[in-house]
Amino acid sequence: MTTPTLSQIVQRPGDLLDEKQAAEILAVTPGTLSVWRSTGRYSIPFVKVGRCVRYSRIALEEWLESRTRTNGATA
């Protein structure tokens, strides 16, 4: 997965989500997102705006799609 450009991330108002909103979409806690981001466990693209972290709704959807499996294989 390539890193999206800023114009790809912000295509319309409301595209950038805060950590709580992104966590709700992924059904995880904001703390889990923070751990994934700091450890690099998953490469979910995010944007830093000052001290704030924002996630693109489109990037989250693409990340989820890339993780969709049709069988039990983990690779």
Mean pLDDT of the chain: 85
- Among 33, 32, 3, smallest CA distance to 17 is for 33
- Three-state secondary-structure class, residue 49: strand
Q: What is the pLDDT of residues 3-12, one digit of tens each?
A: 666 665 555 5
Q: What is the pLDDT of residues 36-60, one digit of tens each?
A: 999 999 989 999 989 999 999 999 9
- Among 7, 71, 4, smallest CA distance to 44 is for 4
What pLDDT band is residue 2 in, cutting at 50, 70 and 90? low
For the chain, how far is it from start to end, CA to CA, in angstroms? Answer: 15
pLDDT score of 69 more than 70: yes
What pLDDT band is residue 23 in, cutting at 50, 70 and 90? very high
Burial grade of 61 (CB within 10 A; 0-12, 13-18, 19 or more): exposed
